[in-house]
Structure 1
Amino acid sequence: MHLTFDWQGALRRARHGAKESVAGEHAPPRPAWKRFPYGDRVYRYGGTALLSNWCRLHRADREPYPTAENLVELLRANPALEPHAADPDGLAVQVEEAWRSFHAGDFADAVDRGLAAGPVGGVVAVRAATVYARHLEEDPQQRITILREAVDSAAALVRLAPNWANAWYAHGAALVRYSQHLSVVKALSQGLGSKVRESLHRALQLESGHAAAHVALGVYNAEVIDKVGVVVGGLTYGVRREAVVDHFEVARTLHAQSALVLAEYAHASLLVLDGARTGRTHALCAEAAACQPVDALERLHLEWALGEIEAGPDYP
């Protein structure tokens, strides 16, 4: 599949409400995105199956199911979205299909459908782009381009929807991944660290049970400590080893038996908690590998954990 995405057009729609094509004739072509490598039908929830499994699929982010009623509630909480959502019934179907593609691992289609729905589809579009860039994109330049555009799109979205927890989470998570691939040190020098904390803490203020925001904060603390050290990280950026554990333990409480939570915890442990020596990383990877993934994102984390177990050193 070869697709073109007009991200800048998406930003203009978010800011001005312009009715533009998502993949317009003049949009620059983008290299085709890779397919999800573990089967394109394994996690496709057709018909009513998406609704039936929604609570489990969204336990980490608490995103409401995209019904017209829930979209109306979102618009009431974020009045600036209203001019971009004249048909909640039609938009609910579009966003539902975008999430269906997201969970199936068809990330390009999820972005396409999310952008087509306008700002109310922004969260699923940004999430899909971020996940794809982090897990499947192999070209470093293309990866950083996707993540930068995801950050820009999410920044436009939070201006329109400051009371949408997952808009803030999508922005913070995209910033975390962008910072990793830009280089954490460079990102910190540009002041992105404070933006990460602001967005993720805002998500938690709006939704205290947001396990995914705790995961992202745990990752952020671990990455900063890994790159600049405990002392500089603490004094300059306010990160702590204890915060890594705290955030991940809260996430585990909120979302037990999640391959995503456990694999990210294992990676953070490897970075800053001396995980290779203590066996913490191995234990967490083993737990992640024993989970039953419910969608493509969890499967990608499970496969990472399996790879670490297979390729890692002999843990005590």
Structure 2
Amino acid sequence: MSEWTAFPHLGEYQYDEAGVERQWHRLHAGDAAPLPTDARVLRAWVLYHNGEFRRAYEAGLAAGEAGITVANKAACIYANYLEKKEKVRLALFQEAAHRAQLQAAAHPELPAAWYWQAYALGRYSQGISVAKALAQGLGSRVKEALERTIRLEPRHADAHIALGTFHAEVIDKVGSLIGGMTYGAKKETGLKMFQEALRLYPEAPIALIQYANGLVMLEGDAKLKEATALYERAAAMQPLDAEEWLDVELARAELAA
């Protein structure tokens, strides 16, 4: 594996196990995950929230089956925000999707297994082009995995965000008629998913960012002003950990562009 790019503000977040435990509900408001009982897994999450993504990934894998979710999240968030080489990014997403698929087969009741399979496949699809991914049948896999996630855990705000993005991107790429008939993509469902995510997790900068993007894809330039306001809200937020810092910086960069 090639060297991972370091989180640019390493050291800014200095959680320990007790700190992550105290903030667990807020840090995991997006996935509604329970506090881990395995000390090794908790330590991997400490590394993750501090922005030590490679160490979190390695610690998660070293923890065995219980650490697969933190390993997958560390790999996917790192690949999405920090990895510069497209080939490496796509490989990380493919590997995470495979691990999550095996995890879902072993533990079909685990929301995280379905969510990270969907997230990794979704980001991989964006990398190879959404149109090509749809032709390969990846769209259906993403949609089904996200819907399964939400059935298992209705409070999973991140899954609502991702499913809203799925509906928006499919309609944006192939149109509402084909998107609806072939892939079950609907504008009303996409908007509802984004709104529910914000109801569940109003402090999430990524929910505001993705909702803004989805509004423009689904409603066009008429929603640019509203989308910009959502970006401004995200950019003004105070990030609680390294992942949120990356989201807030993304919003600020888009506004400055």
- CA distance in 1 between counterparts of 2:70 and 2:81 reads 16
Question: Please, what is the CA RMSD of the aligned residues?
Answer: 1.4
**Structure 1 SS opposite 2:35:** coil
Is 2:193 aligned against 1:247? yes
Question: How much has 1:214 moved relative to structure 2?
Answer: 0.1
Is 2:161 aligned against 1:215? yes
- CA distance in 1 between counterparts of 2:139 and 2:201 reads 26
- CA distance in 1 between counterparts of 2:194 and 2:21 reads 28
Give the TM-score of the pair, scaled to structure 1. Answer: 0.78
Q: Is the 8 A contact 1:259 1:291 kept in 2?
A: yes
Question: How much has 1:275 moved relative to structure 2?
Answer: 4.8
Q: Deviations over 1:2-60 (max 9, x none)?
A: xxxxxxxxxxxxxxxxxxxxxxxxxxxx11010111x2122231141110010100011
Unmatched segments (≥5 aa) in structure 1? 1-29, 68-91, 312-316
- Cross-structure match for 2:47: 101
- Cross-structure match for 1:197: 143
- Cross-structure match for 1:271: 217
Structure number having the greater helix percentage: 2
Aligned letter for 2:18?
A: T
- CA distance in 2 between counterparts of 1:109 and 1:103 reads 11
Unmatched segments (≥5 aa) in structure 2? none
CA gap 1:51/1:222 in 2 versus in 1, 3 angstroms: same
Give the TM-score of the pair, scaled to structure 2. Answer: 0.96
Report 1:1-316 matches (<5 A).
Answer: 30-37=1-8, 39-67=9-37, 92-275=38-221, 278-311=224-257
- CA distance in 1 between counterparts of 2:17 and 2:97 reads 32
Q: Deviations over 1:128-179 (max 9, x none)?
A: 1111111111111111111111111111111111111111111111111111
Question: How much has 1:61 moved relative to structure 2?
Answer: 0.4
Equivalent residue pairs, number: 257
The runs of at least 4 aligned residues of structure 1 exceeding 3 Å deviation read 275-278
Question: How much has 1:270 moved relative to structure 2?
Answer: 3.3
Q: Is the 8 A contact 1:259 1:299 kept in 2?
A: no
Question: How much has 1:276 moved relative to structure 2?
Answer: 6.8
